[in-house]
Chain A
Amino acid sequence: MPIRALFVDVGGVLVELGPSDERSKWAARFDLTEIQLARIVFDSEPPYVLS
């Protein structure tokens, strides 16, 4: 079957995180690395979505 469409994720694929002092501060506040914070944010949803 020939391919007709390409579906792409955004966070971590099309969009990368550049340097941000503000993000570093948030990560430190939660005792996370920036990568850990990014992983959570990229794949998080408001609680009502998951309920």
Chain B
Amino acid sequence: MGGQFGLKEDQLPELQRDFWAGEQLDSELTQFVASLRPRYKIGIISNAWSDARFFHNAKFKMNTWTDGAIYSAEVKLVKPDPRIYQLTLAQLDVRADESVFVDDMLVNIEAAQALGMKGVLCQNTRQTIQDIKQFLGEPQD
């Protein structure tokens, strides 16, 4: 990414720090997702920088309410490459047709659906929760 912006190597950490300074969890969606455990396994599939896992776990304790996480920079694969979904499915030992995938990019959803996963395109919190509930057969609000 540094090359894309013409940044020097030592400027990237500065951009990373500043960029994520104001990030915050969508608490409503996060609480809903976390509440699904242990009935459902929860996994993360993220296209992110190599230290994103550290930041997410330190700031949001993401490792305490998920069962596994795949970060693209760690596995050298990025969504929508089908291999990153397959890695994640294997990590949680579930089949594609036993899973729902949530993303805000349609191309990533379509790749997951091509493997047999159910897809939810996140456009806002309420719609995302309702769409997940529909796939899970949970009562709608």
User: Is the CB–CB distance between B47 and A3 below 8 Å?
Assistant: no
**A50 and B29 contact, Cβ closer than 8 Å, known pairs A12-B122, A15-B60, A45-B72:** no
Inter-chain residue pair count (beta carbon < 8 A)? 165
Main secondary structure of the interface of B (DSSP, over half): mixed
User: Is the CB–CB distance between B102 and A9 below 8 Å?
Assistant: yes
Q: Which size class do B's interface residues fall under? A: 35 or more
Q: Contact residues of B with A, CB < 8 Å? A: 1, 3-5, 15, 18-19, 21-26, 29-30, 33, 36, 40-50, 52, 56, 60, 62, 67, 72-73, 76-79, 85, 88-89, 92, 94-95, 97-105, 108, 112, 117-118, 122, 128, 132, 135-137
